[in-house]
Amino acid sequence: MNIVKPYIVVSLLLSLFFFVGCDENPMTPENGAISGVVDFSGAWPETGNISISLNTSWPEVTGAPYAFTTIYSDDLNQDNLYSYRFENVTFGTYQGIIVSWKDPHDDDSVTNQHAIGGYGGTAEAEFENTGSITVSGSDYEIMDLNFPAYLDLIDETIPAESGTISGTVTFSGAWPEGVNVLISLHSDWPETGEPDAYMSISSDDLNQNNEYSYSFNNLIFRTYSAIAVLIYFNNNWVILGAYGGESPPEFEDAESITITATDFELTGLDFSATFGD
C-alpha cells in the first residue's frame, strides 16, 4: 500500500489555499475616505443652514449630492476651523467638495443652495472651478483637502413680496370745483377697464408748489402700462397727464413700469397734469 508522505499533503493544501484565496485579498479596501479642514471667515448667518457636500457632478448638479453633512457653528473650533470626513466613499472621481448656504426663503432646490467655498475653487469664479478627487483601491485615504469658506458671501436679505411705485405730480391750471380728480395705475393702456389701483386727490393734498406726492403700495410683481391723472367731467373721463406721456389728450405714449422681486421700489416717477379751460 502506498503511503502519501505528510509533507506532500501539506504542500497540496497550501497550493489549494493559494489558488482559492488569491482572488480575495483581505487587505484590499472596498471603499475610501476623504477628509480635510474648512477655514471659515465672517459672521455665522442667523438664518438658513450651512452644509458640506461631496458631489459627483459640479457645477451642474443633477439630483442630491453623493454625501453631505450639516455644519453648525458649535462644530467649529476656536480658530473657526471645521474638520470634515466622508467615509465609505465608493471608488470613483468626484467633481466638487462644496460648502454652501441654503436660503430659507427659496423653495426651489435648484436655486436655494449658494456656494460659499469649494476645494480648489475661487470666489471670483463662484467656486465653479473646483478640483476633482479620485478615490481608488490604491489611493483610498484622501486627506488634507483643506480650503476656505466665506460666510460674508451670504445674503440674508428677505426678498420682497410686493412693490411700491411713487413720485410727484405737478398740477397747473385752476382746480375745478365739484369734480373728482384721481391718480390711477393701469395694466391696460389706453384703459379698457378698471385700474389696478387709484386714489382721490383734493386741492388740499397739494403743497405750496402745486405738487402732489403719490405712492402705490403692495403691488404685485408685473408690468403696469400707465400711471395717469384723470377727472370725471360731463360723464366722461378726461386724462390730465400720464407718466412719460407727451401726447394729449389720450397720452397713448405713456411709459410702462415693471416691478420685480429685485426691482420692487420705484421712486421718482414724476410727471405733470394740466387742467383745461
CATH of 32-153, one of 2.60.40, 2.60.220, 3.40.50, 3.40.630: 2.60.40
Report the C-alpha gap between 140 and 120 in whole angstroms.
19
Report the C-alpha gap between 14 and 22 in whole angstroms.
12
Domains 32-153 and 163-274 share a fold: yes
**Which residue has 503511503 as its cell numbers?**
3
Per-residue model confidence (pLDDT) at position 235: 83
Per-residue model confidence (pLDDT) at position 16: 47
Residue 251 has φ and ψ, to the nearest 5°, of 50, 45
Per-residue model confidence (pLDDT) at position 7: 53
Other beta carbons less than 10 A from residue 71's beta carbon: 19
Which are the contacts of 118, defined by CB distance < 8 A and separation ≥ 6? 58, 96, 97, 98, 99, 127, 130, 147
Taken as a whole, the chain contains a residue count of 277
- Global confidence as pTM: 0.57
- Cα–Cα nearest to 119, from 101, 137, 144, 138: 144
Structural domain boundaries of the chain?
Answer: 32-153, 163-274
Burial of 102 (0-12, 13-18, 19+ CB in 10 A): middle
Task: Report helix, strand or coil for 21.
Answer: helix
**What is 163-274's CATH number?**
2.60.40
Which residues in the chain come in under a pLDDT of 50?
1, 4, 9-10, 12-14, 16-23
- Cα–Cα nearest to 167, from 205, 222, 212, 209: 212
**Peptide linkage before 59 cis (omega within 30 of 0):** yes
| Per-residue model confidence as pLDDT tens digits over 242-268 | 999 999 999 999 999 999 988 899 999
